Amino acid sequence: MRLNRIHKKVDIIKIGVCLIIVMLNSYALLAQQDSQPVTEKAGYNISAGDMHMRDPFVTVDRKNHCYYIITSRWKDGRGGLFAYKSEDLKNWKEIGFVFQAAPDYLGKDDFWAPDTYEYKGNYYSFLTLSNKEKGILRGTTILKSTTGALGTYKPVLPARQLNITPESMQCLDGSLFVEDNGTPWIIFSVEWCGPNVQNKIGEIWAQKLKRNLTGTVGKPHRLFRASDAKWPTKIGDGVLVTDAPFIWKDKVSGNLILTWSSFSPLYSIGQAISKSGKVLGPWEHEEKPVFSNNGGHQMIFEDLQGNLKISFHSPNESKGAKRETLTIMDIKIKDGKFEVLDKNLVSEKNVFDPLVVDGENKVCCKPEKKYANPVKTTENKDLSIGDPFVYQYNGIYYLTGTTNDSGFDYYTSKDLITWENKGALYRKSANHIGTSAFWAPEVRYYKGKFYMTYCCYVPGKDMLQTCLAVSENPDGPFTDLYTPWFDLGYSVIDADIFVDDDGTPYVYYSKNGMPNGVATGELYTAKLKEDLSGLDGEPVFVSGASQEWEKVRWDVNRCNEGPFVFKKNDTYYMTYSANDTGEGFYGVGVSLAQHPLGPWRKCADNPLMTTDLSNNISSPGHNSIIEAPDGNLYIVYHRHADAHCKKPNWDRVVCIDRLYFDERGRLKVDGPTNTPQSVSW
């Protein structure tokens, strides 16, 4: 009896083992299907003329004597890479997806222009991505396959990092170039509609990469601007486009030839030459484009027979029977540069809108809606607050400012134009050292937390002192860390925290006082301790009232206040306000420096903005600066609600206007404005 039971148990165990083996084999098969190269479909049944796609990049596989084009494609609401294969460049077949973004992948938007290279035995795809919801600017990421061109691609960057291009720059169309010494570079466009570009002019940049392509080395370098070449023409509302930078080395002359796309006025391909053979140039532009008949986003390759080819899409039309199509031509080099292609080889001239690609506003400067200052609340009322400061987190804009003597309220917006009142951001405690004059809050994100600076009147000291509060969340609540933050023996207002590229924090503030009955404000800066617990060194003088526009009431007011600091390339910019915010000649000036501690030099063409009663604008100032949804910088400031009010007056409203940089790198503003303004978001 026991023996029968034992045999039955053995039989049951055998059955169980068999089931487990079957299940394990099934799981192994599924895992293999996920990780192994996709299975090819039979038959090269798609002619090149039927390959309707943008930005075609041909990858040559010399080991297997074939070609691939890996393009972007969407499935189930997620972007991915889709492969095609050919043996002769004329006939192609679909292979399938070699990458599809996981549901939690940080890259949610764009999926543009994948360039796929063989490098050190693996394949890498350079792909343009962004995440609009989280406020991550467009840039280039890198995916890697260790199992061939048709293998499974995976991101090489950490999960928390989307792109390898600078996160503060709006970039696209990154490509790979490897020097003879083995040094890899990423060559990329800085988008004409992104932050810190001048006059809507696109730029081409380069940055060294680590040998394993998992990060960058050193700083990025600008190679040239679209306006440096003669052939591009402006489109839309004054845009000069830079697309698809790609470097090819001429083995005969040693020149580097950089091809790129813009409009002239149709979509075109141009070239710039580095006769030094170095990525950093200098780059000399050819006067005429290589191709100018409505085609572009090109790359250069040698086919399996050693013939030099150019691949691009033409015409530049996203819809209709005569739409963007894979175009491959022979191309020749003469005297160290590409010969101009016969434009009649592609004869289709479509009517197209160069601002719209695949239904999306790729140029991103096409006006879509308008606003007029002052900006409005969700109740369609003027947003009335002083000393406005705007910060952004996860695609949401937050605005706070001088509210009342109990603390500070805040507003939120998705477009900088319409704001919803969300109530309290900070409220003082019952035993707070300050009793009144709770002014000018600013919020900065630093090392995973949000820090608020503000000032208040402390009767025990008979002076204004600056305090520091903290929150885990952008919407608070903020609680005090230090009251006061530091005590210098004089009134300190309008503190602004700036964190440099190396992570070093600095503070800028106004030393405020009434010597001889004259309201005086002088700007100072100091390095901060890493934990923000206080100053790490003595304050350094920045500026006082000195320019003529700052002396309109010299007998009663000599103020510089409200500093705001940011960095563009290697230059530090400070906006500041001068004169009395309650009177009639408040305004904004600009200072420049090459180091956060200075010396700071005021711009000779100051002010950036000031009173213009003929345009119903009175005392614009005490600003912050923020990147708008289209990538442009905007200045956020207050001005008198009634330009012709009796002064002094502290009834102020919030306004925004676009900033830009001129050809000499000077900060300029399209404003201050009262009339309707077009925006491209």
Q: Are 413 and 399 in contact (CB under 8 A)?
A: yes
Does residue 232 have a cis peptide bond before it, meaning omega lies within 30 degrees of 0?
no
**Beta bridge pairs of residue 590:** 575
Cβ neighbours for 57, distance < 8 A, ≥ 6 positions apart: 69, 70, 71, 113, 114, 115, 116, 299, 311
Looking at residue 514, its amino acid is: M
Q: CA angle, 612 as apex, 607 and 616 as ends, to 5°?
A: 145
**Beta bridge pairs of residue 371:** 677
Q: In this structure, what token pair is assigned to residue 537?
A: 């060194």
Distance in angstroms (rounded) separating the CA atoms of residues 107 and 164: 12
Q: Are 175 and 128 in contact (CB under 8 A)?
A: no
Q: In this structure, what token pair is assigned to residue 388?
A: 């406005």
| Given 191, 324, 387, 550, the catalytic residue | 387
Active site residue 387: yes
Q: In this structure, what token pair is assigned to residue 635?
A: 């200045």
Q: In this structure, what token pair is assigned to residue 361?
A: 């506003």
Residue 404, H or E segment: none
- The length of the chain in residues reads 681
- Find where tokens 């950093």 sit: 280
Query: What phi-psi label fits residue 34: left (phi over 0), alpha (psi between -120 and 50 degrees) or beta?
Result: alpha
Q: Residue 483 CB: number of other CB atoms within 10 A?
A: 18
| Given 191, 250, 561, 627, the catalytic residue | 561
Cβ neighbours for 188, distance < 8 A, ≥ 6 positions apart: 139, 140, 165, 171, 172, 173, 174, 175, 204, 205, 206, 207, 245
Cβ neighbours for 446, distance < 8 A, ≥ 6 positions apart: 497, 499, 505, 532
Q: Are 653 and 643 in contact (CB under 8 A)?
A: no
Of 635, 530, 521, 620, nearest to 573 by C-alpha is 635
Q: Are 261 and 298 in contact (CB under 8 A)?
A: yes
Return the beta strands (E) in 239-292 as ranges. Answer: 243-249, 256-263, 267-274, 284-285
Active site residue 561: yes
Pairing relationship of beta strands 418-427 and 376-377 according to DSSP bridges: parallel
Pairing relationship of beta strands 519-527 and 505-513 according to DSSP bridges: antiparallel
SS3 216: strand
**Beta bridge pairs of residue 521:** 512, 559
Query: Which residues are the active-site residues?
Result: 387, 561
